[in-house]
Structure 1
């Protein structure tokens, strides 16, 4: 039986607000959409934080460069971090003509013998998808031979963009890993973190607070994740979507199959971190846990507020434009508001309808929701008089042209802004940007120019 996902089913998600009672597709592919990253990129981004698994790209060598090592997803895994090794079958012309299944089987054999991974993710790319290589059969046979899960992930780039690739990755994990192993023990407060990639260590900014309350993270998908843990994820009492709304399909199906309820949280800034911790405690439904969560939140907020006093004095009256994606359109905006910065505009180009509604709720009616930030953000900066631009690296040039401070808050950033302490890191970086003379000097004419 093929494990290929039904793309049409993944595009229409009943758990998304804007799909209820409608036939409209969710994140349907559009011409040119893969220029921002294809389905393979999305699947690799979603699965790469599993450091104890080998990630094998079945396709031409060029395909491996799309998402490999593009994000800082640190791991506390004590063994060999296999995400630092690029595996590919390197399909050539002969494999196109005669088939690449033997080469794929040999590659899995080599990985199992030489690296001893806990699992092997096999990513199907455009070429073997077109030539018809049966990666399901190869993976099934090699799983039986080596005694480890070999998971086929059907993500040829032509099926859609990164968001869809993340959904397909979730489908593969749900079908081949979750529910295949029982945990050694369970607790009343076991949760799964879904869509937490631990970019720059953000998971570690708040996980210790959950553990202090007695809330155990049974598994993560997939930040600092372990294959053995995700296999036991069906025994959790609650799923918590942290970032990737593309994985809402996964949480809905886990609720249908295993009866696990789910909520969505953000851990950027003081307000959202507090709300997230309390929401988890309330969803678990224990009165004593809720009381202890409130006490922990009060303690952490008081500690943070005292440290933020000098920062808020500097940020008073400052305006910012935010150009990032997904739920960061409102979650990072919330963090900026915690610092006393007015967010006058945010990008919602990659946001869901729920994200857009939340951005409007957080920023108010007068804020600008940019649907095409590449062409809008320069004019927005002029119209609003913003002093800060927070975005990905490509927007640095807009900040230089407009001579305003810039901070990189995209997934390629080098520092963690999650949790209470992450807000202090963000505040320090913003002050450094505001006080950096380069943004005032870089676009100034030379003394000898008229």
Structure 2
């Protein structure tokens, strides 16, 4: 990976401390690309905080209660502004907060937290409560673990601390904190009960009902879903997850740690999958089928793939013609999604000219580099200045990102596709692949651009 390509000065205008995080894909480029590190101070990173990462993972559990131990502002980060759906209870859409004020910062907030737990138990009779530590709690040193232990003894329910003060790292550390809380919910001891012939679905948060789409595919294959972790998940099924025969991991960034811990503690093997795009959905379903060593499951998978691909191929070909030659920039949370998006865009005839993530790992960036065309800008933990600079330099027609990238796309006068948690339409599976192609076509080929430009 080198510094220059196609006559562009890659590092011009960048903060010196950020130079190692940005590169061009080149045939004979050297190593040295930096990722999975703390954000550079003053760079206005697009990353979220530790607490945010923990909420992303735990909040979709539909029958759990969530107490934010901190100022009221942190509680504004709730699932009600996101696209995760439930087939049962809706309590997860609410946040409860201890609303720490100045006097609590001075004298401590442990009594306030204990009182909040008592009140929720009295009014709502929860099965499980997660208690999130925020930045201010990390500063004043409240013993949240001790308060949770006392509450468990007092009320005979699970009260689980989530160690997520925002300044303790970045979003990936929040994922890890949430996964540790899930292990605490399951219990570290190995189950003595008989294994369940079925899978746990890790790392899908049921945005716009996507977990239901994939679960339906698995049902047609004859594969039982033991636990959904965490989209449309329930505390009771998550507590049984250690008895499953296989974990499939959709969002590696948030759930790879949990999958490895479950393999160590409970002997549950795992495979990584992705249901974004025709290619990865097909490969993932076949890999899952092969894990069961059952010719009938493999046969059902092949028939399902034939039926589903045939149902969308005609419309996809229509969009391929309309999108051929367009250029896209990708900036998403995890590397697994970026990899699938590069493949999906390539299938539609769209060239990826910029790709970056908030929390990608080295092995993911190695695969991104392998998939990318020469001259593609690859960057980690970017900021608005860098994204604007390279979108303009590479002549992208489209930016695929999340809510924080949307204003930037509109400012630059390029199309935008929301591939984050706020969206209300599914992008997973074969149905999602068609929705993605439609959305790309609608935004890239909109007549509005001829007036703006």
Query: What TM bracket, shorter-length normalisation?
Result: 0.7 to 0.9
Structure 1: state its 5+ residue gaps.
Answer: 1-23, 444-450
Matched with 2:116 is: 107
Matched with 2:82 is: 71
Paired residue for 2:230, among 222, 233, 241? 222
Paired residue for 2:69, among 58, 63, 66? 58
Paired residue for 1:41, among 43, 48, 52? 52
Paired residue for 2:300, among 278, 281, 292? 292
SS across alignment from 1:300: helix
Out of 336-345 and 219-228, give the one that drifted further. Answer: 336-345
Matched with 2:420 is: 410
Paired residue for 2:98, among 89, 95, 114? 89
Kept in 2, the 8 Å contact 1:58–1:123? The answer is yes
1:146 aligns with 2:155: yes
Alignment of 1:365-444 (within 5 A): 365-371=374-380, 372=382, 374-400=384-410, 402-443=412-453
1:273 aligns with 2:281: yes
How far did 1:229 drift? 0.7
Q: Bigger relative contact order, structure 1 or 2, given CA contacts below 8 A and separation 6+?
A: 2
Taking the aligned partners of 1:320 and 1:164, their CA distance within structure 2 comes to 29
How far did 1:166 drift? 1.1
Taking the aligned partners of 1:204 and 1:63, their CA distance within structure 2 comes to 30
Out of 398-407 and 25-34, give the one that drifted further. Answer: 25-34
How far did 1:45 drift? 1.2
Taking the aligned partners of 1:118 and 1:406, their CA distance within structure 2 comes to 41
Kept in 2, the 8 Å contact 1:392–1:409? The answer is yes
Deviation string, structure 1 residues 314-369 (Cα, Å, up to 9, x no partner): 12232322222312211122222232323233224532112212222333445332
1:164 aligns with 2:185: no
Deviation string, structure 1 residues 20-40 (Cα, Å, up to 9, x no partner): xxxx99545664688732211
* CA gap 1:205/1:381 in 2 versus in 1, 3 angstroms: same
SS across alignment from 2:225: strand
Kept in 2, the 8 Å contact 1:266–1:331? The answer is yes
Out of 396-405 and 199-208, give the one that drifted further. Answer: 396-405
Kept in 2, the 8 Å contact 1:55–1:121? The answer is yes
Taking the aligned partners of 2:187 and 2:203, their CA distance within structure 1 comes to 15
Alignment length (residue pairs): 417
Taking the aligned partners of 1:315 and 1:395, their CA distance within structure 2 comes to 22
TM-score (norm. length: structure 2): 0.84
Taking the aligned partners of 1:402 and 1:217, their CA distance within structure 2 comes to 44
Paired residue for 1:359, among 368, 372, 382? 368
Kept in 1, the 8 Å contact 2:325–2:351? The answer is yes
SS across alignment from 2:208: helix
Out of 213-222 and 134-143, give the one that drifted further. Answer: 134-143
Taking the aligned partners of 1:312 and 1:26, their CA distance within structure 2 comes to 35
Kept in 2, the 8 Å contact 1:179–1:231? The answer is no
Deviation string, structure 1 residues 91-126 (Cα, Å, up to 9, x no partner): 223333433222212211111121222210011223
1:211 aligns with 2:219: yes
SS across alignment from 1:72: coil
Taking the aligned partners of 1:185 and 1:85, their CA distance within structure 2 comes to 36
Matched with 2:12 is: none
Taking the aligned partners of 2:410 and 2:135, their CA distance within structure 1 comes to 39
* CA gap 1:84/1:386 in 2 versus in 1, 3 angstroms: closer
SS across alignment from 2:430: helix
RMSD of aligned residue pairs (Cα, Å):
2.7
Kept in 2, the 8 Å contact 1:324–1:409? The answer is yes
TM-score (norm. length: structure 1): 0.84
* CA gap 1:323/1:92 in 2 versus in 1, 3 angstroms: closer
* CA gap 1:110/1:348 in 2 versus in 1, 3 angstroms: closer
SS across alignment from 1:390: strand
